[in-house]
Structure 1
Amino acid sequence: MLRTDGGGPDTPYDADDLARNFGKIAFINEHSGKSAAFVSGPSEIKLNRWKSPIRIRTEFGPSVSMESREADRQTIQNYAKRLQKATGHNVRSVNGDGNFLVFIAGQDDVAYAQDRLKSLVPGIPDDRLNLLRTLDRPFYCFVFTFSGQEDTNTVIRAVAYIRAELPNLLRLSCIHEEIAQGLGLPNDSPAARPSIFNDDDEFALLTSHDEKLLTMLYDPRLQPGVTADDARPVVRIIARELMGQQL
């Protein structure tokens, strides 16, 4: 459906819904990407998020027109401001060195994109690069993150890849979902509504529900490495605060 209204009377949710959805989305990991073709099976994880400032750099394949590039850059710049407001974390779009790379490229740009990623992300695993070449047509976009060697629960780099051939709204939906997931919300849940963290693609753009999930993710009362069980009481408190419900 790719709704852009963010939800309404038909999509009510309360603090319990928010806390439950956060648990399913932040503490379970499966490969991101708008296709069932890229699934390795869900696994429980500890909380992952960034500590360093997030600098989003946008790269394009040669086939992407200048008009599309300008539009996508502006979209990502505006979105970065929204994400910074939601998380309270330092997030912005940059033209120079970045640690969160968003690559928008067409099917004919795969070889270029692989070479460019090797240059921009030293040590990027071959299996990640091979994904670009073996993508099935229904596969719209994906994101993968890299953690520090000593602190495996802290994200230090991310790469999102988005097909340039997508219709405008679907490409915008990919931008919203993949960047948000790269901040530390790696899973989708069929129970999350109204949300982009749901494989049914009912909603195209980040919703108020999703902004609250990001606020929870970067709340200082939760720290990278906390388990779902240990976080649950705090998550419940934060969710009720955000929804204006009594503890």
Structure 2
Amino acid sequence: MTHIAAGCGLVLASGLWLTGCTWTPGAVETAAPAPEAASPPPPQRAQIEVTAPTDSVSAYFEALEERRLSDGLMRSERSPRDLPFSARDLEDIFVQIALYEEYSVTGDRIVERASPTVLRRWQDPVRMRLDFGDAVPASVQASDRRFVSGYASRLSRLTGQPISVVENDANFHVLVVNEAERQAIAPRLTRLVPGIDQVTLDLVRDLPLSVSCLVLAFSRSGTDVYTDAIAVIRAELPELSRRACYYEELAQGMGLPNDSPRARPSLFNDTAEFAVLTTLDEQLLRMLYDPRLRIGMREREARPVIRRIAAELMGGES
């Protein structure tokens, strides 16, 4: 996930990686259990490369998902016993995920360049609308609508922010489209977010196969408050990977723009190690919407507050 300052008075946050699996409902946990063994090393991104077939985008993503699963990635545990985290871990990971960005716009290009940023999030109620391309079967549409509706309610409980799925007057659009539909999507994006810049339109149109989904979050009038968002999900993804995109992009669109290799167990890294919103991710969302953290804060001002919140969430441990 990247946070990019774009032209025309908008702020773009775009997620450039995918993890994937299904959500296992259950009670919210506030700490990872104690480990039974030493934490395993993080997986390397090179482990999950798959050669793309020339005849089918769907076949490519089916092969990618199969390879990830066979490599032990796309894990579905929300509180894995082999990856405990402390209050200090939570503090440092929150700073990396919420107060740093990995990419920026330079001229007409998006470049990888780590840099600090300010805390951004929503103030108004988030109204999500799910739209599907013509190639998505009706049965898949119905199943995904139920899934996203339940997940939106979960995000609302975690953040305290009103979040719902609507049919009209949306400010967070979730577009599930195939390759041809995405390449012709620029006019639709321009209608949804007037003033969207050409760099962003080109990013969506020219999305490489290494990117399964992304989220674009926008702030208007030069503020640090999110007012609009668009998530783009590839319709060619198999169910496990498609639902993983919903998990990650809708959560990151709430205001967690970065990925970090330190974020474990978490969706918010580039390895596809986890496929569900973990207990660590839940704590990050709780912290993001804690009223003691103010929109526009930078790390120096926010760090002492983040430390106190992390200690409280973890029961006072360090």
Which residue does the alignment assign to 2:312? 241
- Which whole-Å CA distance do the structure 2 matches of 1:122 and 1:65 have between them? 30
Given the alignment of the two structures, is residue 13 of structure 1 paired with residue 85 of structure 2, yes or no?
yes
Q: Provide the secondary structure at the position in 2 that maps to 1:103.
A: strand
Of all paired residues, the percent bearing the same amino acid is 45
Question: Contact (CA 8 Å) 1:47, 1:223: kept in 2 or not?
Answer: yes
1:93-149 per-residue CA deviation (whole Å, 9 max, x = no partner) reads 111111111111011212553332222222222222222321112210111211121
Q: Relative to structure 1, is the Cα distance of residues 30 and 100 closer, same or farther in structure 2, using a 3 angstrom cutoff?
A: farther
Given the alignment of the two structures, is residue 177 of structure 1 paired with residue 287 of structure 2, yes or no?
no
Question: Contact (CA 8 Å) 1:56, 1:91: kept in 2 or not?
Answer: yes
Structure 1 residue 220 displacement after superposition: 0.4
Q: Within 5 Å, give how 1:194-205 maps onto structure 2.
A: 194-205=265-276
- Which whole-Å CA distance do the structure 1 matches of 2:151 and 2:111 have between them? 27
- Which whole-Å CA distance do the structure 2 matches of 1:204 and 1:167 have between them? 13
Which residue does the alignment assign to 1:214? 285
Q: Provide the secondary structure at the position in 2 that maps to 1:3.
A: coil
> Which AA in structure 1 matches 2:216?
F
Which residue does the alignment assign to 1:232? 303
Q: Higher helix proportion, which one?
A: 1
The RMSD of aligned alpha carbons is 1.7
- Which whole-Å CA distance do the structure 2 matches of 1:232 and 1:146 have between them? 25
Which residue does the alignment assign to 1:53? 125
Count of residue pairs the alignment pairs up: 241
Which residue does the alignment assign to 2:209? 137
Structure 1 residue 176 displacement after superposition: 0.8
Q: Relative to structure 1, is the Cα distance of residues 195 and 9 closer, same or farther in structure 2, using a 3 angstrom cutoff?
A: same
Give the TM-score normalised by the residue count of structure 2: 0.72
Q: Relative to structure 1, is the Cα distance of residues 7 and 39 closer, same or farther in structure 2, using a 3 angstrom cutoff?
A: farther
Q: Provide the secondary structure at the position in 2 that maps to 1:143.
A: strand
Q: Provide the secondary structure at the position in 2 that maps to 1:30.
A: strand
> Which AA in structure 1 matches 2:137?
S
Question: Contact (CA 8 Å) 2:86, 2:317: kept in 1 or not?
Answer: no
Runs of 4+ in 1 over 3 A off after TM superposition: none
Question: Contact (CA 8 Å) 1:61, 1:112: kept in 2 or not?
Answer: no
Structure 1 residue 246 displacement after superposition: 5.2
Question: Contact (CA 8 Å) 1:105, 1:113: kept in 2 or not?
Answer: no
Structure 1 residue 214 displacement after superposition: 0.5
Q: Relative to structure 1, is the Cα distance of residues 173 and 113 closer, same or farther in structure 2, using a 3 angstrom cutoff?
A: same
- Which whole-Å CA distance do the structure 2 matches of 1:142 and 1:39 have between them? 16
Question: Contact (CA 8 Å) 1:81, 1:91: kept in 2 or not?
Answer: yes
- Which whole-Å CA distance do the structure 2 matches of 1:70 and 1:126 have between them? 33
- Which whole-Å CA distance do the structure 1 matches of 2:222 and 2:262 have between them? 34
> Which AA in structure 1 matches 2:157?
K
- Which whole-Å CA distance do the structure 2 matches of 1:91 and 1:207 have between them? 19
Structure 1 residue 207 displacement after superposition: 0.8
Q: Relative to structure 1, is the Cα distance of residues 104 and 131 closer, same or farther in structure 2, using a 3 angstrom cutoff?
A: same
Which residue does the alignment assign to 1:35? none
- Which whole-Å CA distance do the structure 2 matches of 1:150 and 1:114 have between them? 23
Question: Contact (CA 8 Å) 2:87, 2:317: kept in 1 or not?
Answer: no
1:174-233 per-residue CA deviation (whole Å, 9 max, x = no partner) reads 111111111100000101111000111111111111011000000000010111111111
When structure 1 is superposed on structure 2, of 10-19 and 59-68 the one drifting more is 59-68
Q: Provide the secondary structure at the position in 2 that maps to 1:186.
A: coil
Question: Contact (CA 8 Å) 2:184, 2:205: kept in 1 or not?
Answer: no
Which residue does the alignment assign to 1:69? 141
The runs of 5 or more residues in structure 1 that have no matched partner are 33-37
- Which whole-Å CA distance do the structure 2 matches of 1:223 and 1:211 have between them? 19
Pick aligned residue for 2:226 from 146, 155, 158: 155
Pick aligned residue for 1:22 from 80, 85, 94: 94
Question: Contact (CA 8 Å) 1:63, 1:109: kept in 2 or not?
Answer: no
The runs of 5 or more residues in structure 2 that have no matched partner are 1-72, 105-109
Which residue does the alignment assign to 2:44? none
